Structure formats: C-alpha cells, structure tokens
Amino acid sequence: MKIALAQLNLHIGNFDYNFNKIKEAVLDAKKAGAELILFPELTTCAYPPRDFLEFSDFINRSNQVIEKTKQLADGIAIVIGAPSENPVVEGKDLFNSAYFLAEKKVLQVIHKTLLPTYDVFDEYRYFEPNNEFNLVNWNGYKIAVTVCEDIWNLNNENPLYKINPMDELAKQKPDFILNLSASPFHSKQADARKNIVRENAKTFGIPLFYANHCGAQTELIFDGGSLVANSKGEIVSELPYFLECIEIIDFKEVESLVPIEQKTIEIERIHDALVVGIKDYFNKLGFKKAILGLSGGIDSALVLALAVKALGKDNVLSVMLPSQYSSDHSINDSLELVDNLGSPYKKISIEDAYFAVENTLQAHFENKKPNVAEENIQARLRAVILMGLSNKDGYILLNTSNKSEAAVGYGTLYGDMAGGISVIGDLYKIQVVELCKYINRNEEIIPTNIITKPPSAELRPDQKDSDSLPPYEILDEVLFQYIEQRKGPKEIIAMGFDEALVKRILLMVNRNEWKRHQTAPVLRVSAKAFGMGRRMPIVGKYLE
C-alpha cells in the first residue's frame, strides 16, 4: 500500500484556499498511485485557529470542507484533521479530530486524547479529550490514528498526562501508526520530534507515518519535516524543512528502506524559519512592502537582510534617520549594506524635528538635567517618520529589537519598539551576531564593521550599550537561564554568576513586562519566546 504524506502551508480560516490545497494534494497523490493520503492536524481550518473555534459559522465552514473532501475519497483514503462537534451536552462543544474518509464516506472520526495547555498551546480551552480507543479497519489493515500530542506522552520521566493513547491502541495490535501533527518550530524541535517518532515506532514495533504543517501563522512557524519510521525506530523518510511537498512511501518497502536523516545546523534552521515567518506574515495578510529604520547597527542590518531574502530587494525600504549624535560610520555602514543588497533607501535627518520638540518642551524641562526623556524623544521621532511613510505609501514597519533588549526593557515604547512584526525579538544579541556571520558565510553582505563594532543606540554623545547593560555574553546567558530554563535567582547564582548582577538583570526583566505586552508579535524560534508562550503578570512582585 502506498501512503502519501501531504505537508502543506495552510491559512487560518481561509477555507476555500485550504480546500484547494487539499484537492490538489489528493489529485497528485492519486496520480502517483497512492492508496491513502495523510494530512496534518486541523487541516481544514489551519492551526492554531484559537477563538475562531467559538464561532458556529467557522465550524460550519470547516464541516463544508470535509463534505467536499469526502467526494475526493474515491479510490483513495483520506485522513485529515478538522474540528468536530461533540454530540453530548457534557463537556466542551468540540473535539480536535482526524476524519478517515473512504469511498466518499466518513468511515470513522478519531478524536485527540491529549490536549496541551503549555507554552503556545491552549487546546483544552476549546476541545473535549477523547476517552475511546479504537483502531480503523481499512483495506485489510488495522490502523492506529493519533493526533499530534497523542504520541508525546511516551517514556517521560515526568509525564504530563495520566494516559498514553498508544498504550491503549497497541492492545488491539495495529499494523502501523498515523499521526496528524501541528508541531511549531523552535530551533531544537526537529531533533525532539524525530526522537519521539523513533521511540513510538520502536516501542510498539510498527511503522509510524507523521504529517506536519509547514509555513507560518503570525508568530508561530511550522517547519514541516514530516517523517516515516520503520518498526525498529529508524527514520526512513524525512520531508524537507519549510517547504510544501507530497511524498509517497510504499508500506511494503518501509522495513527495507535505508535510514536517512537531514543534516542542518541550528543557525541555518533559525535563518530559514525567520525568512518564512516574514514571507508568510506579509503574504497571508496581503501586504507587499516593508519599511524599517536602518541605524547602522547590527540588529537593523540583520532584519534588512532577512526581509530582502523573504520579500525581494525592491519591496523593502530602509530609512536612515541620523541625529546630531549619529556617527559617520553608522551612515557609511548603512550605505554599504543597502548597496550590497541592492535595496532602496531614504535618508531623513531628525535634527530639526528634535530641536523643535526640545524648544516646545524647554519651559517644562527647565532646570532639569538631560536624561532618558531626551533620548526617547529621538527614538519616537524616528517612529513618527517611519509610520508616516508607512501610512502614506502602504509599507508595514518591521521591528528590529532583539530578545536581550526586549527582556530588560532596553528600548523605547512607541519608538524603536514599534512595528507590525518583531523579526528578531526571539534572538539574543549573541545569536544576532552568529546569524549575521551565517549570512556572510559565502560573501560579505552585512559589512564586517557592523558586526564587530561596539553596539550603541547613539542617543547621546559616545553612548555604548555597555554603559547601561552588562556585557552581552553574560547578560544573554543569565537571561537564557531565567527565561528558557525557568531557573530562579539562587539557581543562577549557584552557577557562578555575581549575585548582585543576577538580581539586577532579573528585576529588569520582571519590571519591563508592561512594555512587552504592548509590542508587536514576535517570530518564535526558541522554546520560550516572549508573547503567547510566556504569560507573566505585569504587576507581580516576584524577586523584589
């Protein structure tokens, strides 16, 4: 039996678009002789639909996609993810389901058992968990159909759930496992995904076919990498990362296929994820052109390079906004960068605007020493100009703040923290440097001076980031331990970091939560990004 894996880039709530993708994949699979095609989790509506699931019209339109897809199940079985309605009064109104379609009928509907609520997931908000475990009997095979999380509660030292669905299904002796997945990208997720697929196949001694989404849905990026494992737990097929595709595997040949594995480096995966994140954010919202402030620093340089890769050089406008504090090298470095990329730019001084605002406030600032107020005026004037150009000419502003800055509040709200999407808000400063070097691996695109010079906001004479912040090598490690590893101050201090410095950094993180609640969505590339996956109170007093 030939089984097709359909790895698709879908669009949340765009039912006609999604059905056309489904139809094309089914027809292609039929042409290639496939007898069954496996789609990802919640294919009809795309993942994650969130509170759209509370609209009955949304569910009705998803049901219509199932009805139309059912008509394609002629000579081929279709296993596809969609929400389904709970017919009983008790519990949630919906299940997260896999429809098994064959002979133009719904042969069986299998519901997801394990509903994650950690990090970016919130499925128990919408769905009722499954409590019945039945195989699908089709074409002489007994098939265990599972949905994403249902295969992840295996061999865990500290399991999240009291049940493992495959333990129940294995009692009925299935011939193979199908898993419909929506596994969001982070830089280490591909390895974790392969390990869990291997473990399931090996533990239950049967092949496993795993179909994942690709493409981005706002801040969540899906990298594809759909998998097939043989009964020994060896990966014998792995679909490309970040690309739509269909691959057909003959079930009879799974055990004889040579084990394979894609080899990529972490920084390459992060690069490709961010490019996809930008591209899909613009395409799915119908935007065409991006704008950003190009400071001559490493952060904006990186965002420009990524945006040009994603959108094309003619669709990204850089605006240099020098003040009286801007250095000549910042302008020269920026000019060299746009020349290397071949992208358009403007140069607009903010000096006159700054002095006009300063004169307006002179009576109110009288007898008060210059401080952050004057610095923030400059940052906000830059945002005013960028948003003026955005409104006039239809650009979407790209935010260029990194995770280190966002963590400690080293940024101006309504100034350099403005933007429609935060491109590198989940990259620490040391990762920004690493990614720039990756982009320059074959030729110098980002000028070396931008990468090597000391970081500076250039909002006062001879300003350096190190005037306000610890060295990034130390800052980033402390932040990583606190944010990603969820270690408290005592644990971090025990690792050898200075006690006063740790307490200072962690207080900065907590005290600036209010800023992060007002910023653009952050493209997620780590296991714990700011935004939907990290829910912190603004007024909490932890650590103070």
DSSP 3-state assignment of 236? strand
DSSP 3-state assignment of 2? strand
Q: Is 173 a catalytic residue?
A: no
Is the dihedral angle over the CA atoms 525, 526, 530, 535 positive or is it negative?
positive
Q: Which is catalytic among the residues 21, 35, 45, 148?
A: 148
Q: Tokens for 117?
A: 């609520």
Check if the beta carbon of residue 73 is closer than 8 Å to that of residue 103: yes
Q: Give CA–CA dist 149/47, Å, rounded.
A: 14
Q: Is 148 a catalytic residue?
A: yes
Q: Which is catalytic among the residues 35, 41, 123, 336?
A: 41
Q: Give CA–CA dist 93/86, Å, rounded.
A: 5
Q: Tokens for 424?
A: 């590198």
Q: Which is catalytic among the residues 112, 194, 284, 487?
A: 112
* Cα–Cα distance list, 51 to 13, 126, 336, 393, 532 (Å): 11, 8, 46, 33, 14
CB atoms closer than 10 angstroms to residue 191: 11
Q: Is 214 a catalytic residue?
A: no
Parallel, antiparallel, or unpaired for β 289-293 and 395-399?
parallel
CB atoms closer than 10 angstroms to residue 368: 8
Q: Tokens for 135?
A: 């195989």
Cis status of the peptide bond prior to 129, with omega within 30 of 0: no
DSSP 3-state assignment of 361? helix
The residues annotated with a catalytic role in the active site are 41, 112, 148
